[in-house]
Amino acid sequence: AQSVAQPEDQVNVAEGNPLTVKCTYSVSGNPYLFWYVQYPNRGLQFLLKYITGDNLVKGSYGFEAEFNKSQTSFHLKKPSALVSDSALYFCAVRDIRDNFNKFYFGSGTKLNVKP
């Protein structure tokens, strides 16, 4: 069974500090991994993805994520948080062997960046 876990419901960080939002996954084969951000009353927006290649993936708005196969993790990071980064973040996974394009989302992590 495929699944995604985001162990933290909420992450609080001060502006200018580094941030990490955690994600672990479970798939039968190799994964496609994604991060999305959701601002209030909006749909999800794509941030970055890992398909293959370099384990460190860079995305929009200065975010990056590191794929760690041994720990089955794909944590989202940013060196210096901004107040405007405050939002709901979702990790998603798809098994590359899945012919049905089905994605599985985590329950979301609310990021609060305080001035």
Partner 1 sequence: IAGITQAPTSQILAAGRRMTLRCTQDMRHNAMYWYRQDLGLGLRLIHYSNTAGTTGKGEVPDGYSVSRANTDDFPLTLASAVPSQTSVYFCASSLRGGHEQFFGPGTRLTVL
- CB closer to partner 1, 22 vs 32: 32
- CB closer to partner 1, 32 vs 86: 32
What is the spatial distance between Cα 74 and Cα 45, in angstroms, rounded to a whole number? Answer: 18
User: CA of 102: how far to CAs of 36, 39, 95, in Å?
Assistant: 16, 23, 8
CB of 41 to partner 1, least distance (A): 8
- CB closer to partner 1, 36 vs 63: 36
CB of 72 to partner 1, least distance (A): 17
CB of 94 to partner 1, least distance (A): 7
Query: What residues contact 99, with CB distance under 8 A and at least 6 apart?
Result: none
Residue type, 78: K
CB of 27 to partner 1, least distance (A): 12
From 33, 44, 28, select the one nearest 89 (Cα to Cα): 44
107 and 8 Cβ atoms separated by less than 8 Å: no
Residues that bind partner 1 (CB under 8 A): 6, 9, 32, 34, 36, 41-46, 49, 51, 90, 92, 94, 96, 99-108
- CB closer to partner 1, 79 vs 97: 97
